[in-house]
Amino acid sequence: MMGSGGMIVMDESTNMVDVARFFMEFCMDESCGKCIPCRVGTVQLYKLLTKISEGKASFADLKLLEELCDMVKHTSLCGLGQSAPNPVFSTLRYFRDEYLALIKQTAISS
């Protein structure tokens, strides 16, 4: 989704939460700011992904991440905002265990 004809190569050591955060940072920076779902939603998604990545998130944050992704996707006015959550959706679909491991780490250390 990100770019035309591009290829990203990763190995098994790549943290997929950080990958989603990287793409969200791009979308956040590229937002034109005309619609609130994209302008504010991408910033909040980036903050939630950062919180998860740093091991400071709860299961409620994961639920909020999913709900916010759905909201941004379905209420943004342009293609950027509508597709911004796709890397999060993909990583949650195929690598949910990485999100859960970071959140469980938080729960154990609390």
Averaged pLDDT in 10-residue chunks for the chain of 110 residues: 70 96 95 95 98 96 98 96 96 97 80
> What does the alpha-carbon distance between residue 20 and residue 60 come to, in Å, rounded to a whole number?
19
> What does the alpha-carbon distance between residue 15 and residue 12 come to, in Å, rounded to a whole number?
8
Q: So what's the pLDDT on residue 38?
A: 96
Phi/psi of residue 54, nearest 5 degrees:
-85, 0
Q: So what's the pLDDT on residue 106?
A: 73
Q: So what's the pLDDT on residue 74?
A: 98
CATH tag, 17-109: 1.20.1440.230
Q: So what's the pLDDT on residue 13?
A: 94
Would you list the domain boundaries of the chain?
A: 17-109
